[in-house]
Chain A
Amino acid sequence: MNLNIIKSRHFQIVILLLPIWFLLYHNLLPFTDWLVFNVFGMTKGEHLTEALWFLIFEFPKVMLLLTLIIFFVGIIRTFFTPERTRKALEGKKTFTGNVMAAMLGIVTPFCSCSAIPLFLGFVEAGVPLGVTFSFLIAAPMINEVAIILLYGLFGLKVAVIYVVTGLTIAIFAGWIIGLLKLEKWVEPWVYETKVGQNGLDDSKISFETRIKMGFEAVKEIVGKVWIYVALGIAVGAGAHGYIPEDFMASLMGKSAWYSVPLSILIGIPLYSNAAGIVPIVSVLIEKGASLGTALAFMMSVIGLSLPEMVILRKVLKLPLIFTFIGVVGVGIMIVGFLFNFIF
C-alpha cells in the first residue's frame, strides 16, 4: 500500500459514496413507513398497503445490498483469476481437489459464456475431469447475487444453508463423476486442442485498476439483474397481499413428498439467474411451500440450466451431460428431502 491509493480518483469516489450508502440503507425503513402511512395515508393491515410497502422497501434494499457487495466482490475477484485457479488445481487428484475446486468456484469470476474456454483450459492443464466438474457446478450455483438476495429476503441462516449445501453438492457430484471415469465421453477434440500461453500477468494490476474493476462489475451485473429483481419483487409484492397464506402448502408443502423431485424437474428447463428466482422463492415459502422444496427448486433453476447444457454440449457428449444432470439432480433432491425433514 502506498500514498497513490489515496490519490486515486476512484478511491476518493468510494470514500465519498460509502457514507451515503449507509445513510440510505439505515433510513430506508423509517422512510418507507413515512411514505406509505403518512404521505399516502394508507391503513396498516390492508392488502394494498402491505403490497406497496413490500415493494417500496424491498426493491431499494436489495439493490443497495447488491451494489455494495458486488463492488467489493468485484475487487476481491481481481485476485482470483481463472488462470490462478487452474494453477491451484493442477495435479490435485483426489477429494481435496474437489473441495478446493468447489470453493474456488465461488470466488473465481465465471459466466456461462466462458464455460468452454475455462473447461478446455482446466482439462489441458491436467485438472481431473471430476475436479473440473466440482468447479463448474459451484461457480454458477453459488454466486454473490444469490447469497445477497437470500440474505436480504430470508436472513443469514438460509443464506448460509444455501452456500453450505451448494458446496456439498458440488464437491460430491464432482467426486462421483471423477470416480466414474467418464473421460471417454468428452469430445475428442478437447484433448487435441493446444492451449497457448498468453503472457498476461494479472498479478501486477494496480490498486486503482482493481477499484475500477469493482465499479465495472457493479455496472455490468447490477445493470443486468435489476430488471429481474424488480420483476421478482413486484410479483412478490402482488402475491404478498393477495394470495392466501397456505396457497402453496398442498403443492409444495412438507406433506407432498413428490414436490421435491417435481420442483427439480420443473427447474431444469426454467432458466433464470438468482436475481429473478429468489424473490419468487420467497413468495413460495411465504405461501406455504417448505424450505427444502423451495431450496431444491431454486438450486435446480440456477444450477442446472438448459442454456449452459447447450454450451457444454460442444465439449461433452450427451451421456456425460445426462450423468451430470443426474448426479447433481440427485444431490439437490437429497438436500430438499433433508431440509423438509429437519425443519
Chain B
Amino acid sequence: MEIKILGTGCANCKTLEKGILIAVEDLKIDAKVEKVEDIIKIMGYGIMKTPGLVINEKVVLSGRVPSVSELKEIIAKHQ
C-alpha cells in the first residue's frame, strides 16, 4: 500500500509522520510511506487543514494527529 503524509513541514506533520512509521512497523505491513511537502500537490488532494493523510490516493484524515493505535486502525481499515 501507499501512504502519503501531506504537510508543509509544521510540527504536527512531523508528529504524524513519526506515528505512521511506528504504526507501519508494528503492523508489519508492506507500505511505501512518502511525505508530500509541495503545496500545489497538497491542494490537489483538496484538504484545508494540514497535516493530511492519504492512503492509496484517498484522503483519510486531515487536520489532526491521532494516537498510534488509532493510526493502526485507520491503516488496517483502508488496506
Contact = CB atoms under 8 A, between A and B. Distances in A.
Interface string B29-68: 0000000000110111111111010000011111111100
A303 to B, nearest CB: 20
Interface string A98-115: 000000000001010110
The secondary-structure label for the interface of chain A is helix
A46 B21 CA distance: 55
Nearest to B62: A200
Contact of B45 (A82, A124, A196): A196
* Contact-residue size bin, chain A (C-beta under 8 Å from the other chain): 20 to 34
A86 B61 CA distance: 18
A114 B40 contact: no
A82 B44 CA distance: 16
A107 to B, nearest CB: 14
A316 B72 CA distance: 39
Contact of A196 (B11, B43, B65): B43
Contact of B59 (A117, A189, A200, A216): A200
Interface of A: 81-83, 86, 109, 111, 113-114, 116-118, 120-121, 124, 189, 193-200, 213, 216, 220, 314
Contacts of B62: 198, 200
A117 B39 contact: yes
Across chains A and B, which 7 residue pairs bring their CB atoms closest together, nearest first? A113-B10, A198-B46, A196-B46, A198-B59, A82-B48, A121-B48, A196-B44
B5 to A, nearest CB: 14
Contacts of B10: 111, 113-114
Contacts of A194: 43-44
Contact of A118 (B13, B40, B48): B48
Given A109-B63, A213-B64, A195 B46 contact: yes
Nearest to B61: A200
Interface core residue of B11, B44, B64 (most chain A CB under 10 Å): B64
Nearest to B10: A113
Contacts of A314: 39
A114 B63 contact: yes
15 contacts: A81-B48, A81-B49, A83-B48, A113-B7, A113-B8, A113-B11, A114-B48, A118-B48, A120-B39, A195-B46, A197-B46, A198-B45, A198-B59, A213-B64, A216-B65
B58 A117 contact: no
A146 B42 CA distance: 31
A195 B43 contact: yes
Contacts of A109: 49, 63
User: Most chain-B CB neighbours within 10 Å: which of A83, A200, A216, A220?
Assistant: A200
Contacts of A124: 43
Given A83-B48, A114-B48, A213-B64, A120 B12 contact: no
Most chain A C-beta atoms within 10 Å of own C-beta, residue among B12, B42, B46, B65: B46
A199 B58 contact: yes
